[in-house]
Amino acid sequence: MTTRMIIDTDPGIDDAMAIHYAAADPAIEILGLTTVFGNVFVEQATRNALRLLEMAGIDAPVAEGAAKPLAMPLSPPSHRVHGDEGFGDIPAAEPRGKAVAQSAAEFLVQTCADNPGEVVICAIGPLTNLALALRLDPSIAQTVKKVVIMGGAVETAGNITPHAEANIYHDPHAAAEVFAAGWPVVLVGLDVTHEITCPASDFDLVRENAPRIGGFIKDISEFYLRFYESVGKFGGCSLHDPAAVIAAAHPQYFTTKNVQLTVVASGEAQGQTVASPAADSPAVEVCLGVEAAAVKALFINQFKLLD
Ligand code: BDR
Ligand code: CA
């Protein structure tokens, strides 16, 4: 069965990998992209999202979203991880198309209302747009099929700080609203994404499988791998955002546990996702196990279908 998907994204190197993976996977239909601040400023995220769809030949709308978190000041973009323009060493390039007039929150609400029970929202950036969509029209919690989130670290350490994963850290208030909304949430966090490690040779295979788009993925992976090496991780980079897209369409590779979560809003542990069994909140489905080799093989091999 095809997974009909809106990807909420801050592209971003691993976001680009996730979006191009989704474009390649016949089990996924991309209904649109919504953009958010995070790895880059939101205007850069929108430009990059448009460009990624045009490269892949996908004719789907891009709706621009939040430029800053709900309640906190904007943190600086993650240039060290993703490069000044979001794609490592690759210079910025203008897309041909433009974002639609609707905001990301409006696009999320309307697309779910128009296709009740069918749309999977795969969020691979800070969760601000999802919280704004819930505020705009809480009935999205009933019209959406499922919300799959790359974010959090429940039984493992953080990445942006020892406590927190970057997407949750960047807008913990939004994450708290999203976890409390009572819609079906699957959390694909560092508990599993840190188990999926890709060395440079994996991206050589992606390039072999799809010389044009895979070649782009190979080029942007070089900056990302250098960042990982700079923090002492020489075995390769983690496949964060692609793992969420893959979990949305191929959940059989993941094992999950229902967990009630609270999010630390500020202080040293800002953005920490804490299992809180006594909390008065709905449980979310947290991925705690992954067949990493199968996920990697899927990621590498689906690119054959793209070029
Ligand atoms: C997440 O943070 C961003 O840097 C990545 O794009 C990914 O969405 C990983 O913690
Ligand atoms: Ca991302």
**Does the model's pTM come out above 0.75?**
yes
Confidence check: pLDDT of 153 > 80: yes
Which pLDDT band holds residue 306 (cuts at 50, 70, 90)? confident
Which of 147, 177, 142, 181 lies closest to 265 in space, CA to CA?
177
Query: How many domains, in total, are found in the chain?
Result: 1
What pLDDT was estimated at residue 294?
98
Ligand 1: which of 240, 246, 272, 273 to mutate, most ligand atoms within 8 Å of CB? Answer: 240
For 248-306, give the secondary structure using H, E and C.
HHCHHHEEEEEEEEEECCCCCCCCCEEECCCCCCCEEEEEEEECHHHHHHHHHHHHHHC
Confidence check: pLDDT of 307 > 80: no
What pLDDT was estimated at residue 162?
97
Instruction: Give CA–CA dist 131/145, Å, rounded.
Output: 16
Which ligand number lies closest to the CA of residue 19? 2
124 CA to centre of ligand 1 in angstroms: 7
Dihedral sign for Cα atoms in the order 305, 15, 144, 259: positive
What pLDDT was estimated at residue 1?
86
Instruction: Give CA–CA dist 78/11, Å, rounded.
Output: 11
- Domain of 147? 3-305
Ligand 1: which of 9, 19, 150, 238 to mutate, most ligand atoms within 8 Å of CB? Answer: 150
DSSP string, the chain: -PEEEEEEE---HHHHHHHHHHHH-TTEEEEEEEE-SSSS-HHHHHHHHHHHHHHHT----EEE--SS-SSSPPPPP-HHHH-SSSSTTSPP---SS---SS-HHHHHHHHHHHSTTTEEEEE-S-SHHHHHHHHH-TTHHHH-SEEEEE---SSS--SSSSS--HHHHH-HHHHHHHHHS-S-EEEE-HHHHTT-EE-HHHHHHHHHHSTTHHHHHHHHHHHHHHHHHHTT--S-EE-HHHHHHHHHH-GGGEEEEEEEEEE--SSTTTT-EEE-TTSSS-EEEEEEEE-HHHHHHHHHHHGGGT-
pLDDT digits (tens, 9 = 90+) for 21-40: 999 999 999 999 999 999 99
Atom of ligand 1 nearest to the CA of 11: 6
Atom of ligand 1 nearest to the CA of 10: 6
Q: Can you tell me the mean pLDDT for 276-303?
A: 94
Residues with CB under 5 A from ligand 2 (ion): 10, 12, 15, 124-125, 241
Which pLDDT band holds residue 204 (cuts at 50, 70, 90)? very high
Residues with CB under 6 A from ligand 1: 12, 14-15, 39, 78, 81, 124-125, 150, 159, 165-167, 240-241
Q: Can you tell me the mean pLDDT for 113-141?
A: 98
CATH of residue 49: 3.90.245.10
Average pLDDT, the chain: 97
